[in-house]
Amino acid sequence: MVQTILRLPAVKAETGASRSTIYLRIQQGLWPKPVRLGPRSVGWPTSEVAAINAARISGLPDDEIRALVIKLEATRKNASKAFQGE
């Protein structure tokens, strides 16, 4: 499965949120941490952005969105381990 990584301008366009709001939500556990692409660049998998957007649109409360973020980050970590052959 090919996964596209969205940089911050694309994430802002997809969510309608500002940079500061996205990073505040990361601190609050309401948004997944970014994927490091290089020493000075980060991005987010499109599937994670879509999942969080869908949760917000459906009106999920913050505690359920936090649980979703934990699940998304765990899935990302497990996929990384599988890719590395662990």
Domain range for 72 is 5-84
| Count of domains for the chain | 1
Q: Note the pTM of the prediction, 2 decimals.
A: 0.88
DSSP string of the chain, one letter each residue: ----EE-HHHHHHHH---HHHHHHHHHHTSSPPPEEEETTEEEEEHHHHHHHHHHHHTT--HHHHHHHHHHHHHHHHHHHHHHHT-
Q: How far apart are CA 55 and CA 64, in angstroms?
A: 9
Q: What is the pLDDT of residue 84?
A: 67
Long-range contacts of 24-29 (CB under 8 A, 24+ apart): 28/62, 29/66, 29/69, 29/70
Domain of residue 36, CATH code: 1.10.1660.10
pLDDT tens for the chain, residues 1 to 86: 568 999 999 999 999 999 999 999 999 999 999 999 999 999 999 999 999 999 999 999 999 999 999 999 999 888 766 666 65
Q: How far apart are CA 67 and CA 15, in angstroms?
A: 19
